[in-house]
Structure 1
Amino acid sequence: MNTSAIAANYPTRMRELVTQAKEQNLLRPRQLKYVLLTLELSLLLAFTVAAFVLIGDSWWQVMVAMCSAFLLVHFAFLVHDGAHFQIFRNPAHNEIFAVVTAALVVGASYSWWQHKHSAHHRNPNHMALDPDVKLPIIRAKPKMTGFTSWKPIRIFVTHQGMLLFALMFLEGISIYVASWKHLLRSGVVKYRSLQITLIAINHSTVVILMIWILSPGIAGAIVGIHLGLFGFYLGMVFALNHKGMPLITDARRSDYLLCQVLVSRNIQSNAFLAWLMGGLNNQIEHHLFPTAPRFTLRKLAVLVEQHCRSVGVPYTKVSLTESYRRVYLYVNRVGIGRSNDYICPLGSFQYSPQIILPAAPNHVATQTKGAV
């Protein structure tokens, strides 16, 4: 088989995939569906605020905190979709929607998140260029002495995958701190005044309601529960997308299809799980077609998977529990200095894509005889 010819045909094959998606009307924004979803979430949030006021100074507010955290994550999903121009045909309308929703409802900075997220989409899982690759882990040294030589420390270092999941409870606080640092820094920040104003309204409203309705002890607990669950829910969704998938170190620009598909994984899911994950269960399709609305990703996945199989590109799709298991094992292995286990063979794919086999669990794709 002529591997050079296959490699040369990749741009053409990607165009064929785009053509199929357009023919099935899978890339067009779904404005009406998003408007209805926004109204539904807004109504639920209004009921949640009303319940907060009516319940008063009671530990039943824990239920309200759980509901509010759940709803804010789904508003964050809307911000994500708006940032990718999935809602309106006019890019400016998408951006304004995302800015206002992020600041006024979620209470976070859109411009901070958008800068970080754009860098991720440009270079997914690139060890130097993707900010999401960085992990809060302790790397094992060849020889651990002193305090680090204690058995509990050694056990922790080599099994610190659980640390990642525990730290997700702090993600909510991290988002708000990073948002304010971004907005108050020197330099140009798009929509700075608007974001500061709307976030200030959001945060001051929360503080006023807490002081007015709750006693200090319950207020502190409710805020902690809300922030913890908000961050944990977000983290548990976004952690599944790329962690434990091949890492890119090659500075060369590879084929777009390869760069996006090899480092992403899908979650096997039904319509309910897809709703819970804001459509991010179809991460491969989202990276290939970032402007495709979440409502069409399941149908788009059928086309993409068939296409990847036909051109010999590994298409990773695992269960939810298996994905979490891989993330856990990945953090453990990187912590003990085994990050090379995940280096992506993009150089080989650039020349002979059809002779790279799908990855075995916890390993990158395996090259067979004849790979460059």
Structure 2
Amino acid sequence: MRLVRQAGLLERRPVFYIAHITANLLMLVAGWTAFMLLGDAWWQLFSAGYLAVAFTQSGFIGHDAGHRQIFRSRRANQLVGWVHGNLAIGLAFGWWVDKHHRHHAHPNQDGLDPDIGGENIVYTRSQAGARHGLGRVLARHQRALFFPMTLLLGLSLHVSGFKAMARRGYHNRVPEALLLALHMAAYLTVILLVLSPLKALVFIAVQQGLFGLYLGCSFAPNHKGMPILSRDDDSDFLRRQVLTARNVRGGRFIDLLLGGLNYQIEHHLFPSMPRPSLRRAQPVVHAFCLSHDVPYAETSLADSYRQALHHLHAVGRSDQHERSGAPGGTARVG
């Protein structure tokens, strides 16, 4: 913390975010303008792909707002999150922030990290062993099914958000619900006004499917295939955050493609650090970890997918091939 503060890496970057939010807004406007101009044509599948990218980039801005990377004010970040989450892409911002903060508090910790709960994909041998029937068949083939399953991620996020807002005690239910309703009404109205019913159905399936695929491919490299901690793990903050995360090399293009999530280690150590500062923090954190004998995982994007899929395959079939030291069990890292 002392090193990154001295380097000014926790200072807000308003110029970057003003430019980035403006560019993202123009991207969305261009996408929907092209949609209107193309009319009732199958060429709209290209605009579906383009808007899937625009939706995901909006999600990255919402992610930064959820971590208060953009403004110091909680309220200002919340407004940015509502606009880019609820209004722009139909994602319940408050629900996602709560879920994501629990992940940051307990990354890859069995029973505590909501991202490895095992509802759809199994992450541990115990989760695989608890599956029966079709669930067990899906677990055994989850390596092959992973990318196809991400096509449903967008739909899953929409449904989970709506379900969360229906529960008692949800904060800011009224403004979030109004913005979500406005998004859904505008999204469906524009599509149904321009496209015939069949083309509209295909457009929504492609746009939402590719949105989910892009999101899934952005989050998959971060923790999948990294150590999973037992529920009672008491390792210190540094090791808990670093040993469960993986960075992805690749330069400025990967920074843009993954929304800065390729610096997952730095992001987990300093969640409120603005996205453009993560690149500068990387050599500082890397050197610090090496000086304290803390393993620092970094690889290419392709190899991160290979490692993640290998882990999913080993865990999914662990009920068939139980052996000592097989991947997917829980461990202590302290």
Q: Give me the TM-score of the superposition, normalised by structure 1.
A: 0.82
Residue 110 of structure 1 aligns with which residue?
A: 93
- Give 1:101 deviation, angstroms: 2.0
Which range is displaced more, 225-234 or 26-35? 26-35
Residue 165 of structure 2 aligns with which residue?
A: 183
Which range is displaced more, 75-84 or 329-338? 329-338
2:159 aligned with 1:164 = no
Distance 1:279 1:252 in 2: 28
- Give 1:297 deviation, angstroms: 0.7
Counterpart AA for 1:332: H
Counterpart AA for 1:320: L
Residue 66 of structure 2 aligns with which residue?
A: 83
What does 1:1-372 align with in structure 2 at a 5 Å threshold?
Answer: 18-135=1-118, 136-137=120-121, 158-185=140-167, 187-337=168-318, 341-343=327-329, 345-346=331-332, 349=334
Counterpart AA for 1:19: R
Which range is displaced more, 207-216 or 78-87? 207-216
Distance 2:297 2:184 in 1: 41
Distance 2:139 2:82 in 1: 40
- Give 1:157 deviation, angstroms: 5.4
Structure 2 vs 1, CA of residues 42 and 236 (structure 1 numbering), >3 Å: closer, same or farther?
same
Counterpart AA for 1:56: G
Distance 2:139 2:265 in 1: 31
Q: Deviations over 1:311-341 (max 9, x none)?
A: 1000000111111011111111111236863
Counterpart AA for 1:87: I
Structure 2 vs 1, CA of residues 109 and 158 (structure 1 numbering), >3 Å: closer, same or farther?
closer
Distance 2:83 2:191 in 1: 23
Which range is displaced more, 32-41 or 78-87? 32-41
- Give 1:345 deviation, angstroms: 4.8
Cα contact 2:311–2:327 (8 A) shared by 1:
no
Distance 2:256 2:144 in 1: 26
Distance 2:83 2:65 in 1: 11
Counterpart AA for 1:178: S
Distance 2:330 2:280 in 1: 28
Cα contact 1:65–1:225 (8 A) shared by 2:
yes
Superposition RMSD in Å: 2.1
Residue 370 of structure 1 aligns with which residue?
A: none
Distance 2:326 2:95 in 1: 31
Q: Deviations over 1:249-288 (max 9, x none)?
A: 0514321101100000001111011111000000000000
Size of the aligned set, in residue pairs, is 322
Cα contact 1:127–1:249 (8 A) shared by 2:
yes
- Give 1:100 deviation, angstroms: 2.7
- SS of 2:186's equivalent in the other structure is helix
- SS of 1:239's equivalent in the other structure is helix
Distance 1:234 1:157 in 2: 21
Counterpart AA for 2:13: R
Cα contact 2:314–2:326 (8 A) shared by 1:
no
Structure 2 vs 1, CA of residues 46 and 250 (structure 1 numbering), >3 Å: closer, same or farther?
closer
Structure 2 vs 1, CA of residues 158 and 193 (structure 1 numbering), >3 Å: closer, same or farther?
closer
Distance 1:252 1:318 in 2: 26
Counterpart AA for 2:96: W
Residue 364 of structure 1 aligns with which residue?
A: none
- Give 1:124 deviation, angstroms: 0.2
Distance 1:287 1:259 in 2: 10
- Give 1:52 deviation, angstroms: 0.8
Distance 1:299 1:171 in 2: 32
Distance 1:31 1:311 in 2: 34
Counterpart AA for 1:206: Y
Distance 1:84 1:61 in 2: 35
- Give 1:140 deviation, angstroms: 6.2
Distance 2:22 2:140 in 1: 47
- SS of 2:69's equivalent in the other structure is coil
**Percent identity for Structure 1 against Structure 2:** 35
